[in-house]
A and B are shown apart, each in its own frame.
Chain A
Amino acid sequence: MEPHILVIDDEPQILRALRTILTAKQFQVTVASRGEEGLALAAAQLPDLVVLDLSLPDMDGVEVCERLREWTQVPIIILSVRDGERDKVRALDKGADDYLTKPFGIEELLARIRVALKHSAQAQSQVTPQLLVPAGPLTIDLSRHIVTRDGEEVKLTATEFKLLVYLATHSDRVLTHQAILKAVWGSEDMDHTEYLRVYVGQLRKKLEANSDQPRYLLTEPGVGYRLLSDS
C-alpha cells in the first residue's frame, strides 16, 4: 500500500506543490491548512508520516507536534523558514523527528521522508532495537561496545562511546544539543555545548576520513548533530 502522508501547511502554493510532487512519487497525500484540521485528520486516519509547517494561522506548529506526541509516534518532519533555530530546537525537543528549512530541495525532502518511514517501520516490526549500525566504513556494535572502521577496531574513551551510542541508536535523526547532553552527561550539564564540541571533534578525528569534511557525524547548524547511517 502507498504510504500515507499528511501535510499541514497554511501556504496554498506549498500544499499544491507538495501534493503534486508527493502524489507523483507514489505517496497518498492528505493536506490541511490549519493546526486543528491537521490534528483532526490525523486522529480520523493515522498517517504514516506528518509534514508540518511551524507557522500556522490557528496554533503554533510546536503545539501540533506536542499534541500528536500525546498519543502517536508517527514520524514528524518540520518545515520552517530560515532563522528559526530556536523554533526548530523547540519542535525537535517536543518530539519532531527531523526538520527542513524553507526553501528546500524536493530531493532533500524525499530523502528525509524515506529515512523517517524506514525508521518507523523498523520500530514497529522489531521489538529489539537494531544492534549493528553501519555508516559507510564504520560499524557500531551496540551490544559488544565495539566500533570498527574498515573492519579495524577504533579505540574510544567511555564518554566518546556513550556519545556515539546515543547518536547511533537515533541515527539519521537530528538530535538537539540539549537532548544529547542530557542523554550523555545528565540533566545538570544541559547547557555545556562545549562538551559536545570537544567530544564530537574527537570522534570525528577517530572515525572520519577527514574530520573537516565529516560525512557521517554531521553538524546541524545552531540545532545539534545527526549521525548518517546506511540504514
Chain B
Amino acid sequence: MWGLGPGILAAIGSFLCLNYFFLPPYFTFNIARPQDLLALIIFLVIAIVISQLLGQDKQSIASAQAREREATQLYEVSTALTGLLDEAAIAQILAKKICEAFVGDEIELWVDGIPGSTTHICAGEPRLASTRPDLVFPLATARGPLGTMHLWRKGKPFTESEKRLLSTFTGQGALALERAQLVENESRSRAIEESDRLKSALLSSVSHELRTPLATIKASISSLRSETSDLGEEPRRELLAAIEEETDHLNQLVGNLLDMSRIETGSLDPQRKWNALREIATGVVERMRQVLQRHRINLDIPPDFPLLPMDYVLIEQVFSNLLSNSAKYAPPGTEITIRVRLHPDQTALVQVINQGPPVAEENLERIFDKFYRVTAAEKITGTGLGLSICKGIVEAHGGQIWAENAPGQFIFNFTLPLTWHGSLPQIPTEV
C-alpha cells in the first residue's frame, strides 16, 4: 500500500490522533493554542511529502526490478543463441525464451522465412495461428531482412513494454540468424576453395600418373615396330609384358578416378546383397596374385562367418586397394594377413595387417585423405586416391575405417554392419 491517497490518509489519521491524544484540551479535536495548530499543519505537510517520496522510491524500485528481469531475460536469450548455427534451432530457442518471458499466457508464434521452422505454442490449444497475428516483427539486420516473427496472444493485447521486450528478443534472434548465415557462407566458400585446390591436385597427379604408363607403352611399342632395331625373342616378350601391365595400370587409374568422382558427388550407390567376406577376399587375392607375388598372404576368416549386406564389387575394391597399398609399403617377403572377426558392437571387423613401417600417429587419419601420401610421391606410384576410395565405400556401407600401428605391424581396420534394414539373412532349411 503506497502512493498519494494512502499517504494523505495516513497523514490525516495521525494528525487527528495527535490532536485527540496529545494536544490540550486532551480527548477532544479542539485546539487551544495557535502554535499547536501551526505544528499540526507542518506535521501534515511533512507526512504527505514523506509518503510521496516513499511512494516514488518504491515505484522506481519496481521499475528497476522489471528492467533487471528484462535484462536477465535478454542475457538468457543471447547466451542461448550463442554458438547456434542452425537456423531452425535459432527460431526454436527464440520461441522458447519468449514463452519463458510470458509464462502462463496463451501465446503462439511462428518464425517465417527460416527453413524448417514450425509454429510454436507456449500454452493452450493450437488455434490462434489461423487468424491475423497480433504482432509482427521483422527479423532484420543491416544486411537485410532474414525472416519475420508472427505472434498471437489470447485474451490481452501486448503492452508497450512487452512490445519493447519482444523487439529486443527478435533483434537478438536476427543477429544470431545473420551469424549462422555468415558462417554457412564462409564454410561454403571454403569448400569451393578446397575443391578447387583438390581439382588442381587431381589434375597434376592424374597427368603425372597417366603419362608414366603411357611413356612405357609408347616406348615399348615404337621399339617393337621399329624395323632397324633387331630385338631378340626375350626382350620382345619383356616389352610386350610391360605394355600389358601398364595398360592394366592405366585401367585401374581410370577406375579409381571414376570411383572417386562418384564418392565426391554422393552418387556411389552400393548394390547391397548378402555376400560372404571369405568369397570376396579369396577372389581378390586370386586376382591380384601378380601384385602380391612378393608377399605371403594369410587368410584368417572363419569359414562359418555370417553373410553381410555388401556390394560385392565395391568391397572387392576395398580389399584390392588395401592389399595393393600393403604390397607397396611392406617389405618383400613379409606376410600380409586378412583377418575377419565379430566386433563386440555387433559389426564385422575386417583387418588387413602388413609388416610395413609405422605411420606417425598424427598422420594415421590423414592417410585416408585424398592425395595424402606418407612418403614422397616420386618413390611410390599411385594416384593417392586408393585409401580415400576405401573410406568412401566403407562409409557408404555404414561402416568405419581406420589405421593403427602395432609392434612390427601396420593394420588397416574396417567395420561393416551385420544387419540390413535391421534383419539378418534368411537361410532356407533343406526340405
Binding site for B on A (CB under 8 A): 82-83, 85-86, 103, 105, 157-159, 177, 185, 189, 192-195, 197-198, 201, 212-213, 219, 221-222
Interface residue B431 (Cβ < 8 Å from any Cβ of A): yes
Q: How far is B279's CA from A82's CA once the two chains are assembled, in angstroms?
A: 20
The answer on a CB contact under 8 Å between A194 and B425 is yes
Residue ID in chain A nearest B258 by CB atoms? A83
Chain B residues with Cβ below 8 Å from A105 are 244
| Nearest CB on B from A178, distance (A) | 11
Given the known inter-chain contacts A82-B251, A158-B430, please indicate yes or no for A197 contacting B276, CB distance below 8 A: yes
| Nearest CB on B from A116, distance (A) | 23
Given the known inter-chain contacts A219-B283, A222-B312, please indicate yes or no for A194 contacting B426, CB distance below 8 A: yes
- Of the listed stretches B124-132, B162-170, B200-208, B267-275, chain A binds B267-275
Q: Which of B234-256 contact A (CB under 8 A)?
A: 244, 247, 251, 255
Q: What are 10 pairs between A and B in contact, CB < 8 Å?
A: A82-B255, A82-B258, A83-B255, A105-B244, A157-B430, A197-B279, A212-B299, A221-B283, A221-B313, A222-B311
| Nearest CB on B from A102, distance (A) | 9
Chain B residues with Cβ below 8 Å from A213 are 282, 286
Chain A residues with Cβ below 8 Å from B312 are 221-222
The answer on a CB contact under 8 Å between B427 and A201 is no
Chain A residues with Cβ below 8 Å from B431 are 158-159
Which size bracket describes the interface of B in this complex? 20 to 34
Chain A residues with Cβ below 8 Å from B430 are 157-159
What 14 additional pairs, Cβ within 8 angstroms, besides A83-B313, A194-B307, A195-B427?
Answer: A82-B251, A85-B271, A103-B247, A103-B251, A158-B431, A185-B428, A189-B428, A192-B426, A193-B273, A194-B274, A198-B307, A201-B276, A213-B282, A222-B271
The answer on a CB contact under 8 Å between A212 and B271 is no
Q: Which of B282-312 contact A (CB under 8 A)?
A: 282-283, 286, 299, 307, 311-312
| Nearest CB on A from B305, distance (A) | 11
Q: How far is B241's CA from A143's CA once the two chains are assembled, in angstroms?
A: 47
Chain A residues with Cβ below 8 Å from B428 are 159, 185, 189, 192, 195
Q: How far is B277's CA from A212's CA once the two chains are assembled, in angstroms?
A: 11
Residue ID in chain A nearest B425 by CB atoms? A194
The answer on a CB contact under 8 Å between A197 and B251 is no
Chain B residues with Cβ below 8 Å from A157 are 430
| Nearest CB on A from B208, distance (A) | 21
Interface centre among A85, A105, A222 (most CB of B within 10 A): A222
| Nearest CB on B from A91, distance (A) | 16
Chain B residues with Cβ below 8 Å from A195 are 427-428
The answer on a CB contact under 8 Å between B278 and A198 is no
The answer on a CB contact under 8 Å between A194 and B313 is no
Residue ID in chain A nearest B251 by CB atoms? A103
Q: Which 4 A-B pairs have the closest CB atoms?
A: A194-B274, A194-B425, A222-B313, A212-B282
| Nearest CB on A from B260, distance (A) | 13
Interface residue B108 (Cβ < 8 Å from any Cβ of A): no
Interface residue B178 (Cβ < 8 Å from any Cβ of A): no
The answer on a CB contact under 8 Å between A86 and B274 is no
Residue ID in chain A nearest B250 by CB atoms? A103
